[in-house]
Amino acid sequence: MELIRVKNVLKQYKTGITAVYDLSLKVKKGEFIFIIGSSGSGKSTLIKMLYREERPNEGEIIIGGIDVAKLKNHKVYKLRRKLGIVFQDYKLLHKLTVYENVAFAIEILGLNQKEIREKTLKALELVGPKGKAKSYPDQLSGGEQQRVAIARAIVNEPKLLLCDEPTGNLDSKTSWEIMKVLENINNLGTTIIMATHDKEVVNKMKKRVIQIEAGKIEKIHEEGTYQNEAV
Amino acid sequence: MKPFRILYRNIRDALKSIFRNFSLSIASISCITITLIIVAISMILSFNVENVTNLIRKDFTIIAFLDNKLTEEEIKQVEEKITKLDNIDEYKYENKIEIAESMQDSSDVFKTIMENWDEEDNPLQDTFLIKVVDAENINITANELKKIEGITVVRYGEGIVENLLSVFGIVEKSLIVIVLALIVVTAFLISNTIKLTIFSRKREIEIMRLVGASNLNIKLPFIIEGLFLGVLGSLIPIILVIYGYRALFKYFEGQVFTPFLQLVQPLPFVYIVSSLLALIGVFVGMWGSARAVKKYLKI
């Protein structure tokens, strides 16, 4: 079953820079895909277009039946509620506790306190950090903060998880722990697309790798590795 | 119930945010308070000017002096003609003996002079005192009265009436313009103050959007916050109006220097003004917030 179809997408920023050029891609349900490429290659732009922060100038992006490219600004929330997003800088609210940060994402749905509590605790149980629900983000390590961000991203049980360099700020040991968490989530059926620089992670995971250079797909490696040393 | 839960969450968040951003909330509240005080003063002035104008209008009287040679029959005919005119509210006939008596009652000087008058000595004239419906057209009615046979002189304070009405009209209109201008200025000031608050919460809004909050989800707590700021900002002006105006009324004993300038009775006047102030405060707070948050939404 196909979850994402990207077809002939072109993205040109107002500055005139073309970030993505004639890119096509299909992603099946339950897949785990790496998007790799050097800085400025267009991988972040691609991720941004998938959660409709950016809109392509040409081409179509269909995610779970929604035509994301044509989605109006005031309807973007409908897409966002169906997917989870994880960032390099975690994007947590420092005034809220770990529990509140995770619950934040489902409170807007108007669930009752019991449902919010159950879902939040379930997500924290699955991802961690364990026993820190009442701590504030500033009291946590980078890896722990990223776990909170992942918990927030999956608390609504999305079909798709988008990760933009989630291990970019972490050391290799912590990165690997985060990858284990993501793999675990993937095993439960969630499709994951992850943009990364992290050679070690990509090589160890043996997943499909899409290499983007200058806004185009350079290579697709099934069970791929980070072969291009120049990257 | 889902809508109630969402509303509850928004009210809770709005209250939290007022306390979390305390200094900026105080800035917005004082801004609303100060303007509403000025609005309140202008409103009270405007209502009082209107009140005085109405009282004066009601009080305008045309005095038509009759020829003393008229017989009773002829006076009846004059009266009939007066009733046929437009713009007549009420009229009263006073003969010269009654007038002399009332003048003697009003002043000792008159009394001494008039006491010894015979009926033939009395130089006064029989009169009709006429009140008009529309004071603006008093001169037209006066001219029509002049044309009636048997009426010798018509007096209504020509000139003064028209001038007074136009001055009051100008004062009233200027006050309304001032009130409206103040409301607009406050709305923008609030909007800018709240913008500062929201700027510090840009990240929060960004994350809300990322996790799937709709524009309404994001806007609602801010609008409710604006509502609370408006209510809080209107408290002091309302207290000032309710107690201040009553005290003022008591101090002046209901009239400013002369019975001619009557103040509006405090009840229910102060409650009407207070409700208007609360409404303006709430409107200005909500609109200001909505405008401020709009900048950070992609609509």
- pLDDT classification of A231: cutoffs 50, 70, 90: very low
CATH architecture of B61-155: 2-Layer Sandwich (3.30)
Closest Cα in chain A, distance from residue B4 (Å): 9
- Chain B residue whose CA is closest to A80: B212
* C-beta separation of B299 from B253 below 8 A: no
Are B217 and A108 a contacting pair at CB < 8 A? yes
CB contacts < 8 A (A, B): 55
- pLDDT classification of B298: cutoffs 50, 70, 90: low
Alpha-carbon gap, residue B216 to B212, rounded angstroms: 11
- pLDDT classification of A227: cutoffs 50, 70, 90: low
Question: Domains of chain B: which residue ranges?
Answer: 2-56+163-294, 61-155
Are B208 and A95 a contacting pair at CB < 8 A? no
Dump pLDDT digits (tens) for B208-238. 888 888 888 888 888 898 899 899 999 999 9
Are A80 and B204 a contacting pair at CB < 8 A? no
- Coil, strand or helix: which one is A56? coil
Are B212 and A152 a contacting pair at CB < 8 A? no
Query: What is the reported pLDDT for B79?
Result: 82
Smallest CA-to-CA distance from B33 within B207, B196, B199, B182 is with B182
Count the Cβ atoms, other than its own, within 10 Å of residue B24.
Answer: 20
Alpha-carbon gap, residue B224 to B32, rounded angstroms: 16
Dump pLDDT digits (tens) for A94-131. 888 999 999 988 888 878 889 999 999 999 998 878 78
Are A74 and B207 a contacting pair at CB < 8 A? no
* C-beta separation of B137 from B87 below 8 A: yes
* C-beta separation of A163 from A201 below 8 A: no
Count the Cβ atoms, other than its own, within 10 Å of residue B272.
Answer: 14
Q: Find the DSSP H helices in B200-295.
A: 202-210, 215-239, 245-252, 266-294
Count the Cβ atoms, other than its own, within 10 Å of residue B104.
Answer: 17
Count the Cβ atoms, other than its own, within 10 Å of residue B115.
Answer: 9
Alpha-carbon gap, residue B53 to B170, rounded angstroms: 12
Dump pLDDT digits (tens) for A149-183. 999 999 988 999 999 999 888 898 899 989 999 99
- Chain B residue whose CA is closest to A105: B211
Whether the predicted pLDDT of B180 surpasses 60: yes
Question: Domains of chain A: which residue ranges?
Answer: 91-157
- Hey, is the C-beta of A90 within 8 angstroms of any chain B C-beta? no
ipTM of the complex: 0.84
Are A77 and B5 a contacting pair at CB < 8 A? no
Alpha-carbon gap, residue A229 to B8, rounded angstroms: 55
Whether the predicted pLDDT of A33 surpasses 70: yes
* C-beta separation of B60 from B138 below 8 A: yes
Whether the predicted pLDDT of A136 surpasses 90: yes
- Chain A residue whose CA is closest to B7: A110
Whether the predicted pLDDT of A229 surpasses 70: no
Q: Mean pLDDT throughout B131-143?
A: 79
Put simply, the chain A residues between 47 and 86 with a CB less than 8 A from any chain B CB are 51, 73-74, 76-81, 85
Backbone angles phi, psi at B279, to 5 degrees: -60, -45
Smallest CA-to-CA distance from A135 within A83, A100, A169 is with A100
